[in-house]
Amino acid sequence: MADQKPILISGAGLSGLLLAHSLKSKNIPFLIFERDESIAARAQGYRLRISSDGINALKEVLTEAEYNHLQQGTSQTGGGGIHNLDAVSGEPAPSKPGEGGGKGPGLGGDVLGVSRGWLRQCLFEGQEDAIQWDKKAVGYSVSNSGVKLKFADGSESSEGSLLIGADGPQSAITKQLTDGKVRAYDTGARMIHGQTPARAYRGLGDGDGGTLGLITNVRPGSLEDGDVELGWVFVGSPGAFALPEDQLYGVGKVAADLSRRLTANWHEKFHPIFEQQNDAEAAFLKMWTAHPDGIPEWSNDPRVTIMGDSCHTTTPAGGVGANIALRDAAFIGRLLGQAGGWREGLTSEYEKEMRVYASENVKMSFETASQRFNITDLK
């Protein structure tokens, strides 16, 4: 395989890095191109819920030592369900449609709570030399012998045998490959992700079994650990809030200060969460989704395919987005491993199966988000 053309991966996110691990273990050459300038270019601290699809993908690809290392930064998620508190009074509030007191969507079997930053850092380890930074993909060109990736700086990659777009919901690769059929829709809802020392949550009470249910994703007892930071997400329905007009990017202190202003009239028991947050980890985000009617078909290209948020962005509701992305990566890696590299028909086989499980998860996530956050229109 010394003369084999590399697999080109656009995007050093979770799916791109897990695929890199899979290819490396099978001695299949690859190159990763990432638009950011470094691994630490943006806040990565919000927490993910890794359930069976994601866990199975990680275990399939990573060595036992790598998976055990990853687990050191995770916590077993409790199944206490969703417990609502009135923001102004601080008193218990009724459940909303789509919530209930039982386990939330996707909580069957083992579930791990993990910071996206920690997961990405673990998957990044060992791939440092394969990544080219500050390479924003703007398109690609296909020939009879392979595919080349084009970048915003005017350069292009060496020729690869296969291009995999894993560079997010605004992927230029997705737009070109699917002729605009696949895209991310703005739900209108807005989010602020943040992290706060665990002790700031103590005023909310321990809840059943000493946990805070789905708000924390940590084991009982963590609220007394001064070294632990708990992730949170602040969500506003369409039109509820936006960034200040003079701010183009909502990361760091800009997002942290916005969360403080929006919660100024909340009950005092909530104030420590926002006042004591780690400002550097705060991030303002739009809530995107693929179309809930399903992932559409496009004219297959044997040399190009897409995975993760580039193909099937989901809302945070249900906690499935990262899990499907990891499943994509393990699946493509398995197909490439079985073939010893690229082959005709590989992208078609992947896309046919991916559309089924991805569409199911996008629909579930959107329906849950619509109920919780009053989403009615997609833009």
Give pLDDT, residue 363: 96
Other Cβ atoms within 10 Å of 248 Cβ, number: 7
Which of 101-110, 256-265, 348-357 is predicted most confidently?
348-357
Which DSSP symbol is given to 79?
-
User: Backbone phi, then psi, for 32, in 5-degree steps?
Assistant: -115, 135
- Dihedral Cα 267, 268, 273, 278, nearest 10 deg: 120
Q: pLDDT value at position 117?
A: 84
Which residues sit opposite 229 in a β-bridge? Answer: 197
Judge whether 141 and 157 are in contact, CB under 8 Å.
no
> 289 forms bridges with which residues in the sheet?
185
Question: What stretch of H or E contains 76?
Answer: strand 74-76
The CA-based angle 21-72-82, given to 5 degrees, is 105
Q: pLDDT tens-digit profile of 266-276?
A: 889 889 989 99
Task: Tell me what pLDDT residue 334 has.
Answer: 98
Q: What is the pLDDT at residue 373?
A: 83
Q: What is the C-alpha to C-alpha distance for residues 244 and 255, in angstroms, rounded to an integer?
A: 10
- The edge-to-edge listing of strands for the beta sheet with 74-76 is 47-50, 112-115, 74-76
Residue, of 44 and 300, whose pLDDT is higher: 300
Question: CA–CA separation, 362 vs 324, rounded Å?
Answer: 10
Question: Which stretch of 14-18, 239-243, 326-330 has the lowest confidence by average pLDDT?
Answer: 239-243
Tens-digit pLDDT profile for residues 80-138? 455 677 777 777 777 655 554 444 434 445 788 888 888 999 999 999 999 999 999 99
In angstroms, the CA 5 to CA 56 distance is: 29
Residue located via tokens 């990262």: 322
Which pLDDT does position 379 carry in this prediction?
Answer: 83
pLDDT value at 32 more than 70: yes
In the chain, where are the structural domains located?
7-43+117-182+291-373, 74-115+186-289
Question: 7-43+117-182+291-373 sits in which CATH class?
Answer: alpha beta
Helix axes 52-61, 14-25, angle to 10 degrees: 30
Residue 288's closest CA among 369, 167, 207, 347? 369
In the predicted model, what is the mean pLDDT of residues 34-54?
80
pLDDT at residue number 231: 77
**Is the Cβ–Cβ distance between 54 and 321 less than 8 Å?**
no
Tokens of 263: 């919660």
Mean pLDDT over the full length of the chain: 85
Return the percentage of the chain with pLDDT > 70, whole number: 82
Q: Worst-scoring range by mean pLDDT, 135-144, 247-256, 315-324?
A: 247-256
What stretches of 38-161 adopt beta strand conformation (E)?
47-50, 74-76, 112-115, 131-132, 137-142, 147-151
pLDDT tens digits, 188-225: 988 888 888 877 777 665 444 332 223 434 445 566 66
